[in-house]
């Protein structure tokens, strides 16, 4: 009995020491595991940063060699850079033993919310990217957007919008989505552009003479191309005039200047030669005699005679 009591007393005295030692072992073990997990996370993130920097540099260089604008190459390379870093951080957390399912779910929700909120921005971004790849218009070129009712010179093309200086001097900022969905008529890419005029002359006019007058004006103009030669011909016998059509080619970068001035020169040449450009006229025939009264005199209109407006005393 005395020996059993002694042994029990010894065990009771050793029990607090054993629990303290076990707690210390657990602390050291958890500290070691935490340090290991931290080192793994930092190592993965460091490798991810190095890889992101390499990929960023490669993407930027490739896009610049493809003749894309520097701001587009810079934006695309930054997107790839941050995407790789985020992916490396999630991978590091997973290797460190941390459950990243919650992060992935939260990221999905945030992505969906941002996607709905930034639809227009994303649409303009991708439209601008396709415009850069396709290159239907460039700064300095004159373009027409028929569906938008815009014609002018392109001053700047960015990833989200395009700026056009209209022919009346206004600067318009147009979202790239609208331009991408619109028909683009480039008036600058070709060397020459054909202009067309429709000119009405009186039925009493000598047509050969009128055609020669218009041809001489076109051929003497310094900006009208000799080849293809200017063409002037009769196109229509209208109600009030005979329609002549004049077709001629001018340099693309001078078409607006010629278009504004040439019609004035043609009108002056026709006036100088005494060729009349008529206005719409109507002859009214009245079948029964009418007598119209006014304060000053009576107007008599006889049957089967055109009304000339003559006053009968």
Q: Would you say the pTM of this structure is higher than 0.85?
A: no
The domain of 86 spans 23-117
Quick one: pLDDT band at residue 33, thresholds 50, 70, 90?
A: low
What is the arithmetic mean of pLDDT over 83-101? 78
Say if residue 174 is preceded by a cis peptide, omega within 30 of 0.
no
Domain membership flag for residue 257: yes
Domain membership of residue 157 (yes or no) is yes
Domain end call among 186, 203, 221 = 186
Confidence of residue 25 (pLDDT cuts 50, 70, 90): low
Do 32 and 103 belong together in one domain?
yes
Other Cβ atoms less than 10 A from the Cβ of 301: the count is: 19
Helix 101-117 to helix 119-134 angle (10° resolution) is 80
Kindly state whether residue 208 falls inside one of the protein's structural domains.
yes
What pairs with residue 290 in β-bridges?
301
Q: Which residue has the higher pLDDT, 59 or 243?
A: 243
Phi (first) and psi of residue 48, to 5 degrees: -60, -40
CA–CA distance, 150 with 144 (Å, rounded to integer): 6
Contact 89, 48 (CB under 8 A): yes
pLDDT band at 45 (very low <50, low <70, confident <90, very high): confident
| Residues 180, 196 within the same domain | no
Residue 1 pLDDT grade (very low, low, confident, very high; cuts 50, 70, 90): very low
Does any domain span residue 14? no
* 54 in the same domain as 101: yes
- 47 part of a folded domain: yes
Indicate whether 165 and 233 sit together in one domain: no
Domain count, the chain: 4
């Amino acid at each position: 009995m005395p020996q059993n009591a002694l042994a029990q007393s010894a065990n009771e005295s050793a029990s607090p020491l054993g629990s303290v030692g076990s707690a210390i072992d657990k602390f050291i073990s958890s500290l070691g595991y935490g340090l290991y997990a931290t080192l793994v996370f930092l190592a993965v993130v460091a490798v991810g940063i190095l890889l992101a920097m390499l990929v960023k540099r490669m993407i930027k260089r490739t896009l610049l060699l493809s003749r894309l604008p520097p701001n587009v190459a810079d934006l695309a390379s930054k997107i790839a850079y941050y995407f790789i870093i985020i992916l490396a951080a999630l991978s590091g957390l997973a290797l460190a033993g941390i459950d990243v399912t919650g992060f992935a779910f939260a990221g999905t929700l945030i992505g969906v919310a941002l996607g709905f909120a930034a639809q227009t921005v994303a649409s303009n971004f991708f439209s601008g990217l396709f415009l850069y790849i396709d290159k239907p218009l460039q700064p300095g070129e004159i373009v027409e957007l028929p569906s938008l009712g815009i014609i002018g010179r392109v001053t700047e093309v960015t990833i989200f919008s395009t700026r056009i200086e209209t022919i009346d001097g206004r600067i318009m900022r147009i979202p790239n989505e609208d331009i991408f969905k619109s028909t683009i008529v480039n008036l600058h890419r070709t060397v020459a552009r054909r202009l067309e005029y429709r000119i009405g002359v009186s039925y009493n006019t000598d047509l050969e003479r009128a055609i020669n007058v218009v041809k001489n004006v076109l051929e003497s103009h310094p900006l009208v191309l000799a080849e293809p030669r200017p063409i002037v011909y009769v196109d229509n016998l209208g109600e009030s005039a005979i329609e002549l059509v004049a077709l001629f080619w001018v340099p693309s970068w001078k078409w607006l200047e010629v278009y504004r001035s040439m019609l004035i020169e043609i009108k002056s040449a026709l006036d100088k030669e005494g060729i009349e450009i008529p206005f719409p006229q109507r002859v009214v025939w009245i079948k029964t005699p009418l007598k119209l009264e006014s304060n000053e005199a009576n107007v008599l209109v006889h049957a089967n005679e055109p009304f000339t407006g003559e006053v009968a005393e």
